[in-house]
Amino acid sequence: MSQSQARMELAQFRQVAPQVGAALQSLSQAAVGAGLEKDLLELAKLRASQMNGCAFCIQYHLNDARRLGVPTEKLDLVVAWAEAGVFSEREAAALAWTETLTALMAKGVPDAAYEAAARHFSEKELAFLTAAIGTINVWNRIGVAYRFTPPVPRSAKTANAA
């Protein structure tokens, strides 16, 4: 497999389209402001980014999740969350909802998927979780389109500083 070269980096994208970056940032923060757990949101963002193949967003959200103290075993197993047995029912519901919304073309949003998510989230929480999942999918499409270079993992920054 050949290495792909960035077409544009995130910093340049933010300069070229500052309104887009600001709007997406604001939308991302809305879910936190509504009371959704930051670690749950990072797991959802990580799973969507894995599904969409966005290397930048995968690394970015791994860095954020580690900073928040999300256990390593969850980060290692989010790709196989349904079989892993390490996620709470609420986290599993968020990950299932993330997969449903990220893979819309495959089957739309079945009633059973909505009902399963609605058992674990209030109406307000589900609305904000849905917006957060939509937002990461937008960022994934931007990151993949421009081939943003993944950020350096926090552990590598620490090792390089030594």
Q: What is the pLDDT of residues 21-32, one digit of tens each?
A: 999 999 999 999
Q: What is the mean pLDDT of residues 93-106?
A: 95
Residue 155 three-state SS: helix
Q: What is the mean pLDDT of residues 85-113?
A: 95
Q: Which residue has the higher pLDDT, 154 or 30?
A: 30
Does the pLDDT of residue 136 top 80, yes or no?
Answer: yes
How confident is the model at residue 107, as a pLDDT? 85
Backbone angles phi, psi at 118, to 5 degrees: -65, -20
Instruction: Please state the pTM of the whole predicted model.
Output: 0.91
Sign of CA dihedral 98, 139, 39, 47: positive
**Which domains does the chain carry?**
19-151 (1.20.1290.10)
CB within 8 A of 143, min separation 6: which ones? 10, 54, 55, 56, 57
Q: Which residue has the higher pLDDT, 2 or 93?
A: 93
The rounded distance, in Å, linking the Cα atoms of 127 and 31 is 9
How confident is the model at residue 158, as a pLDDT? 52
